[in-house]
Structure 1
């Protein structure tokens, strides 16, 4: 191989000055340079994001001028957790169906605050069904309610408002409530008096 190249180099003549600028050929011991396939660089492919496929940003929460407006807006709305909605709406219905909307929302927020507190069950239905907490619950079973009942539909809309955090709680941080005429033992701090209920933390 070396001799053949040497022979070529000794007998070749330069016919054009431009040939001097050609790059020198390199050879391999395993493959002759004239038979080597052209090396094509492999492009690096980076994944691209499809703007339509990417998750759309969540819309800003709706703002309401009143609690009545918030409840009306949520009357026909959907929720991600139907079971939590049922447990919360049933609690509102049995504990505060005759109360003003602010009182119903405060009852709902007591349940939600308990679920977040670490002192009670960790989810809405667990809080509602926890033994000895709500008198309408019997052996961990919620009573049935006619879903077309007007007061239950209001309780359901209030529950949706509470689950969506669509209106500020009128009894912030409350974990307990009772009727005005019922004494509550223990050292609790009163946070609100709404309708016929007193709310404590």
Structure 2
């Protein structure tokens, strides 16, 4: 199934089976049967640029080494740790991937995850993964300051955790590099942004 300032206020909010999402400025965790969406309301917030990643230097080096050896994104995902012990920041990132792109290709999930990472580093959005995900009117699956529950035993969640680690470390390139926004491919908002790519069910912009 299927991540993401005031450009279009209250424009669109569509989500299909956890895969479609609109990111203007616009995802921890819903039952698999819940449909989610993004609200396309870009918001510009000058915030302190604080690093959001939680991995250590050793972790980063290990991931980069794994990336060089893997050769494919699938192999790199398989090389990620399988334990579910994530920091709160990484759970926010994995949750966004899970709710916005679960069921999509690994490339599609990574593109969504990198939007959250890119925003946290842009200086235009909150400077942490949880800040980006919980920013008002951005991710429709978020309710106030909480997420629905995730099916932590599912393959979708295991993939989301692995992709979150890869997105956080930047150990594999996204097919929509530097993207800050995305929306479901089935809608056509009139955004005055630079279109970067369509990856699976989402169109990404800078």
Larger Rg belongs to: 1
Q: Deviations over 1:8-65 (max 9, x none)?
A: xxxxxxxxxxxxxxxxxxxxxxxxxxxxxxxxxxxxxxxxxxxxxxxx9x85721130
What corresponds to 1:104 in structure 2? 109
Per-residue deviation, 1:185: 3.1
What corresponds to 2:72 in structure 1? 66
Query: What is the aligned counterpart of 1:124 among 116, 120, 129?
Result: 129
Q: Deviations over 1:109-164 (max 9, x none)?
A: 00000001111100001000100000110112111112111111111111111112
SS of 1:198's partner is strand
What corresponds to 2:179 in structure 1? 174
RMSD over aligned CA atoms reads: 2.0
Q: Deviations over 1:74-100 (max 9, x none)?
A: 142788x61121111111111000211
- Equivalent residue runs for 1:5-24 within 5 Å: none
Q: Residues 94 and 78 (structure 1 numbering): CA distance in 2 closer, same or farther, change over 3 Å?
A: closer
Q: Is 1:85 the counterpart of 2:90 in the alignment? A: yes
**Does the aligned pair in 1 maintain the 2:82–2:158 contact within 8 Å?**
no
- 1:178 and 1:72 map into 2 onto residues whose CA distance is 28
- Return the TM-score normalized by structure 1: 0.67
Unaligned runs of 5+ in 1: 1-55
Between Structure 1 and Structure 2, the one with more helix by share is 1
SS of 2:157's partner is helix
**Does the aligned pair in 1 maintain the 2:176–2:196 contact within 8 Å?**
yes
Q: Is 1:164 the counterpart of 2:177 in the alignment? A: no
SS of 1:74's partner is coil
What corresponds to 2:82 in structure 1? 76
**Does the aligned pair in 1 maintain the 2:119–2:125 contact within 8 Å?**
yes
- 2:174 and 2:140 map into 1 onto residues whose CA distance is 23
**Does the aligned pair in 2 maintain the 1:131–1:140 contact within 8 Å?**
no
Q: Which has the higher contact order (CA 8 A, sep 6+)?
A: 2
Count of aligned positions:
144
Give structure 1 regions of 4+ aligned residues with deviation exceeding 3 angstroms: none
